[in-house]
Amino acid sequence: MQCVNCSGQFLTIKGNLKLKDKILGDFVVPDTTWEQCDTCGHILYTPITMRAIEKTESDRKKQLLLKRPIGDFIPATEVAKILRCSRQAIHKHKRIRRGFIHFVMHNGSYQYLKESVELYNKTGDGRLPLVKPNPQNFIKILAQS
């Protein structure tokens, strides 16, 4: 297959795929495959790559959420009060199910990140970053001010 950017050829690469995400930070999809142009480095994800990325993203999100204190979370009944809808509506809500509010299964029930619910209530998108900004960037910002 020929590259869309240049006349290079795509090669199948096997290895650890490094990704950056504004919600999940830097992470690695271990032991996967993708197509990469041998000339310009343009990357194409195959369906196998996509599934591996989705799985790693969902595991990483869960891991990051479970690191936070349980006091940061509220149950669906509290979410329903904030969003002024029924508890059932929270469970069926398409945008919430798609991850617009961060939630995690904890001791058999869904727990919603309160900060994320409040952000969602204000803006319609509660996907706040789950990693702290890179300390090196932070030092740069401090040096500039």
| Alpha carbon distance 129, 112 (integer Å) | 15
In the bound complex, what is the minimum distance in angstroms from residue 33's beta carbon to Zn ion?
18
Least distance to Zn ion, CB of residue 14, Å: 19
Q: Which of 2, 6, 9, 44 binds Zn ion (CB under 5 A)?
A: 6
Q: End-to-end alpha-carbon separation of the chain, Å?
A: 49
* Nearest distance from C-beta of residue 12 to Zn ion, angstroms: 15
Regarding 99 and contact with Zn ion (CB under 5 A), the answer is no
Which residues in the 19-58 window bind Zn ion by CB under 5 A? 37, 39-40, 42
| Residue 35 to residue 16: CA distance in whole angstroms | 13
Instruction: Show the beta-strand stretches assigned E in the chain.
Output: 10-21, 25-37, 43-44, 73-75, 103-106, 109-113
Q: Which residues bind Zn ion (CB under 5 A)?
A: 3, 5-6, 8, 37, 39-40, 42
